Amino acid sequence: MKPSAIAGDPLATSFAHEVRAAAQLNHPHITTVFDHGVFSAYEASQEPSLVGTPWLAMEKVSGGNIRALAGHTHWDTIKTVLLDVLDALGHAHARGLIHRDIKPGNILRDKASGAIKLTDFGLAKSIRQMRVAARKSTMVSGTPGYMSPEQIEGDRQAQGPWSDLYSVGALGWALATGHAPYQGDVTEVLEAHLRGETKQFKPVCPVPRGLEEWLRHAMQTDPMQRFVHAADAAWALHDLADPV
């Protein structure tokens, strides 16, 4: 990683957030950060332009992200991914962190072991930070296809673990159908999240009968109508009977 070291640069800010957030976490389904620092003149003697640039040493996950799984996998894999991500989020939430950018591109799958790893805590915020922040913000953070309504509205005080769980619902929808719940340009997608009008659920592989209900429950527009805790969502997913 080589984000700009210029003060106020969004990449540098995101990098600093990721280091601070990930340093608090130690979980088998979260990529481990080993060390971080800033290139000194000595360390960057072969490439002076790197002086002052932050660096991050983290666990190598050889398989890349899970984007290619969307619409091209089976229920066992979908269930494993969702449960592992929920397990990782339960760990982060218990330590006061919400991820705020759950999507296929931020979930890695190790080629050798098949292990699922949640990564990229650049947008993570502490729940305490969100509670003391101004109610509304013009700064909208996240990925349109997977953002909760409260993120879209910039309502920081309404964001919490349930915001990540909304995104897990959108993730599950994408894995089962091959696409995020809402399609169109960015404005259309964001407005659709706010209305909560998903189209017909059409999985491309056999899935449990109750999966659609689970996904729609996770993606309720009203945060208080969703799963509140990652463990709640995981237990409900565990209870689904395998597809016949």
Active site residues: 101
Question: Would you list the DSSP string of 28-63?
Answer: TTBPPEEEEEE--TTTTTT-GGGTT-EEEEE---TT
> What CA–CA distance (Å, rounded) separates 112 from 114?
6
Q: Identify whether the C-beta of residue 190 lies closer than 8 Å to the C-beta of residue 142.
A: no
Q: Which of 29, 155, 161 is nearest to 100 (CA)?
A: 161
Q: Identify whether the C-beta of residue 70 lies closer than 8 Å to the C-beta of residue 104.
A: yes
- Retrieve residue 51's tokens: 């002086």
Half-sphere exposure at residue 53, Cβ-oriented, CA atoms within 13 angstroms: 14
Q: Identify whether the C-beta of residue 87 lies closer than 8 Å to the C-beta of residue 234.
A: yes
Let me know how long the chain is: 244
Burial 139-155 (b: 16+ CB within 10 A, else e): eebbbbbbbbbbbbbbb
